[in-house]
Amino acid sequence: MRRALLGLALAAALAAAAPAQAGTLTTRNACLYAIDGYWRDLDLTLAGAAAPDPAAPGAPFTLGGASLRADLPSWIPRYGYNLGMLVAGRNEIPARVWVALAGTNAAPAAQVVELATTAVTTITVVEGQPQATPISVTVPVPDTGWTAGAAGTAGVAQAGAGTLPPLPLGPGGTTIAPQGSVYVRAELNNSARFDLDCQPGRSAKGTTDSGSDSFTAQPAQPFALLGVGAALPPPPAADPHAGRPMRIRSTVLRRRGRRVGVAVTCLTRTRCAGRVRVRRGGRLLAGGRYVVAAGRRATVRVRLTAAGRRALRSARSVRVRLTVDPAAGRTVARTLRLRS
């Protein structure tokens, strides 16, 4: 891999409070890959419910039913296979995860939970190239206790940079100092380790496998809210497609001159924008940016690279991985054929 919550509530009102509803929020993180020291983007989704809702100022509340979800980029298992860290067939990857949660108008300011999970991917080799099932992991988060602040709104969010304590992950049990608020250590084959150090933000190059040596930190919004002193008004209707704003409609890609057409649909209530990439193995065959009006279908035409033109000179059809990476929301990808 190369150098990724108006006034005080009466006791009777609190007793009659409705149960809290679960909140879910996907936050773009910039993650430092220990293997090469480069930053890459990764969407982390935190969910959970804060109760009782409402709570009195200074009263305890609990974040319960919480979870952390991550969908790792599709190129990671392929690179792991090429480096001998993963094998053809089923791979079970045990991992330890440390997550710092921040109280908003709540105490303590931050809490750290340690989690354990096992990620799974199955690798097959097609025409000499490794293909892998997506690595998607959802990890339950233990209940945590908090104390509500002043009247208004309280909540829990992913914490910011520097909120994890030193972790005993160095040689001989020595400690390391994480930079972010989510740290992942995965154990691969041959005693190899895969570490991610993540914090809310965006890397300079986004989700590309090449990574970046810089990033921009951004604050994370609370994923679980409750009223302090009064019940919260109902939240605005959520956009059901905000997490995955794009749909790929193409079943095959066709070259027209030096461009390739990609049929997509923008599913959200606002316009969609981002990048389209067509890769074969680790090589970029075509790519470019797109802007599609809200709720509309479009054919995005991206430019072939020199590698893409060479590939189509030697074969009329090649198997490729199409990735649509929106500026906000989850990446969508599909394996299909690129034809001349």
Does 219 lie in the same domain as 85? Answer: yes
- What is the Cα 119 distance to its own chain's centre? 15
**CA distance linking residue 278 with residue 71, whole number of Å:** 19
pLDDT, one tens digit per residue, over 77-112 is: 988 899 888 999 999 999 999 999 999 999 999 999
Tell me if 302 is assigned to some domain: yes
Q: Which of 177, 195, 228 is the last residue of a domain?
A: 228
Tell me if 217 is assigned to some domain: yes
Expressed as residue numbers, the domain containing 323 is: 246-339
What pLDDT score was predicted for residue 18? 32
Does 210 lie in the same domain as 147? Answer: yes
Q: Which two tokens stand for residue 192?
A: 């190899």
pLDDT, one tens digit per residue, over 258-305 is: 999 999 999 988 899 999 999 998 899 999 999 999 999 999 999 999
Does 299 lie in the same domain as 162? Answer: no
Greater pLDDT, 20 or 91: 91
Among 243, 227, 236, residue whose Cα is nearest residue 104 = 227
Tell me if 194 is assigned to some domain: yes
Tell me if 235 is assigned to some domain: no
Task: Confirm if 222 and 23 have CB atoms less than 8 A apart.
Answer: yes
Mean pLDDT of all residues belonging to the chain: 87
What pLDDT score was predicted for residue 215? 93
Does 268 lie in the same domain as 185? Answer: no
In the predicted model, what is the mean pLDDT of residues 13-38? 71
In the predicted model, what is the mean pLDDT of residues 9-20? 29
Each as own residue / partner, the long-range contacts of residues 247-254 (CB below 8 Å, 24 or more positions apart, any chain) are 247/332, 248/322, 248/324, 248/332, 248/333, 248/334, 249/297, 250/322, 250/334, 250/336, 251/336, 252/336, 252/337, 252/338, 252/339, 253/278, 253/320, 253/322, 253/336, 253/337, 253/338, 253/339, 254/338, 254/339
Does 212 lie in the same domain as 81? Answer: yes
**CA distance linking residue 270 with residue 177, whole number of Å:** 40
Task: Confirm if 231 and 154 have CB atoms less than 8 A apart.
Answer: no
**Band of the pLDDT at 17, cuts 50, 70, 90?**
very low
Tell me if 1 is assigned to some domain: no
Greater pLDDT, 231 or 302: 302
What pLDDT score was predicted for residue 90? 95
Q: Which of 83-97, 116-130, 223-237 has the lowest mean pLDDT?
A: 223-237
**Band of the pLDDT at 6, cuts 50, 70, 90?**
very low
pTM of this prediction exceeds 0.75: no
Q: Which of 228, 257, 278 is the last residue of a domain?
A: 228
Confidence check: pLDDT of 329 > 60: yes
DSSP reduced 3-state for 145: strand
Does 251 lie in the same domain as 177? Answer: no
State the total domains in the chain: 2
Confidence check: pLDDT of 70 > 80: yes
